[in-house]
Structure 1
Amino acid sequence: MPLIKRSVALIDSLARNQKQVRKRNVAIFIHDGVEILDFAGPSEVFAATEGFTVYTVSLSKEPIISQGFVKIIPTYDLTDCPRPDIVVLPGGKTGPFLNNKPLIDWIKRCSEQAEVMLSVCTGAGLLAKAGLLDGKQATTFHSYIEPLQRATPKARILRDTRFVDNGQIITTAGVSAGIDGALHVVAKLKGLAAATQTARYMEYDKWKPDEGLVVKQPGKVAADTR
């Protein structure tokens, strides 16, 4: 093989290898009053799966309090957070943050490039405030369904649904459902075998890969397996 062709082949091979080893950034937004399992569940899933770099981000780097007794120091704030490929928006006491303009603007900016925007529980309210649920189906914590529907008349908020996958925008029901949503994201990006391996490692026997609604995307077939 001529030297030039060998060089081109080597460059192509290195590029493919770099693409394969590149880890996806997972930014998990935390705030005062965040529900522990809302963020800890997805954190465990992504941290236990090869190919993801997981970190926390908050409005500032000051410690936040979860569940009234757990103090957490965020790794980043909104100004220095690395560009995320996946954004996780947990729930809990999200009400005080729905009108936080820097946060909502950050969510909007992230959505312009991120592969996945995943909400857990009442974190769906943050997606709604950013206008990312308009024209979509979604789900959330059972007691937040009606308030979210009133606040987001252009969306359809579903009951009795573990997660709803609209492509980039994925919402889950409350608390433990965030684990299912994160496993679904792993299966979507890295394959069912990878997600199954992570669920097995976590001994999360509850997980049912088909327990959700995958909304039909252009050129794709919908799967409703609730």
Structure 2
Amino acid sequence: MQMMQGCLARNPFARMTRLLGSVQCSREAGSRPGPQQQQKQKPLTMAVVLFPGFELLDVAAPGELLGAVPDVARLFYAAQFPGPIASSCSELAGGTVGPSLVATHRLLQGGSISDAAGGQPFKPDAIFIPGGKGVRGEVSNDFLVDWMREAAHEADVVLTVCTGSWLLGVSGALDGIPATSNKNALRNGHPQKAAPNVLWQLEARWVEHELRRSGGRTTLFITSSGVSAGGDAALALIARRAGMEVARRVAHRAEWSWQEDSSVDPFARDYGL
């Protein structure tokens, strides 16, 4: 699995990207957390959405990095049906079924979650949608698609990794918003066909976009490229919430080589984008 110049790439969908997204491409893909974004904020309650065939590293890398800073986010692993959820280790490229992660929380209608024992429902401040082999089936899961749309509308932060943006895009939550996805999927045109109203950015490690909603509320969308890019995007979120010093410290402790410039995307050229 998995700026302006990137939007003009050699790809059958490049013209669409140029027409719809090139104006925002350089601003969004190269965004940096400003001083006003680095003040201390309350921890996010983040629903990590699991489904059969999610890509293991899509969840594990951001989960490790975000889990290292509980002052930034508290992670709740949730699924339509709680319990062990089998992951994928690059099955689409000849890999194997991966280990299962336990979803301790249940997705509920209206964009809420509750613990598996049926505790008090609550709406998470943030949602995290991974990609993986299972995306190809989940795009037809009306319950999950509806849940994502409703949860994204209420959330302060929406994070996707790899083809998680393809899945979220089907819900309409990314309509009119610059976003990126797995490079092989973009090369094959799957996200573009499934969600044509998204401003797909073909060359970006990750893309950040703040959407202003009614009442002055905003939702921060962070969509990353394939698999390992989710770690870089998670560190970008940490930088926004806690500052660059904290994000760099987390990366260093994890021995993670963080690509801090979201516009640097070596894999786009590899895939002919």
Q: Name the TM-score, length of structure 1 as normaliser.
A: 0.80
Moved more, 119-128 or 172-181: 119-128
Amino acid in structure 2 at the alignment position of 1:72: L
Q: 1:192 is matched with which residue?
A: 244
**Of 112, 121, 128, which residue of structure 2 is paired with 1:88?**
128
For the 8 Å contact 2:41–2:242, the answer to whether it is kept is no
Please name the residue that 1:6 is paired with.
none
Q: Deviations over 1:162-217 (max 9, x none)?
A: 00111222210010000011111111122111211111111102x1222249xxxx
- Asked if 1:114 corresponds to 2:155, the answer is yes
Q: 2:137 & 2:194 partners in 1: Cα distance?
A: 15
Matched, 1:43 2:63: yes
How much identity, in percent, do the aligned residues show? 32
Structure 2 distance, partners of 1:109, 1:150, is 22
Deviation at 1:21, TM superposition (A): 7.7
Q: CA–CA distance in 1 between the matches of 2:233 and 2:193?
A: 24
User: d(CA) in 1 for partners of 2:245 and 2:138?
Assistant: 37
RMSD in angstroms over aligned alpha carbons?
1.7
Residue type at the aligned position of 2:199: R
Mapping 1:108-187, distance limit 5 Å: 108-145=149-186, 146-167=189-210, 168-187=220-239
Structure 1 residues without counterparts, runs of 5 or longer: 1-19, 214-226
Deviation (angstroms), 1:143: 1.3
Q: Which has the higher contact order (CA 8 A, sep 6+)?
A: 2
Q: Is the 8 A contact 1:88 1:119 kept in 2?
A: yes
Deviation at 1:59, TM superposition (A): 1.1
What SS is found at the alignment partner of 2:176?
A: coil
Residue deviations 1:100-145 (CA, integer Å, cap 9, x gap): 1221221122122211111101111122111122112211111111
* Counterpart contact for 1:30–1:57, Cα < 8 Å: yes
Equivalent residue in structure 1 for 2:260, among 198, 204, 209: 209
Question: Counterpart of 1:65?
Answer: 86
* Secondary structure, counterpart of 2:123 in structure 1: coil
Cα distance, 1:37 vs structure 2: 0.4
Among 98, 104, 110, the residue aligned to 2:145: 104
Larger-Rg structure? 1
Kindly tell me the number of residue pairs found equivalent between the two proteins.
Answer: 193
Q: Is the 8 A contact 2:56 2:98 kept in 1?
A: no
Q: Tell me, what secondary structure is at the counterpart of 2:163?
A: helix
Report the 3-state secondary structure (helix = DSSP H, G, I; strand = E; otherwise coil) of the residue aligned with 2:83. Answer: coil
Instruction: Answer yes or no: is the 8 Å Cα contact 1:132–1:169 preserved in 2.
Output: no
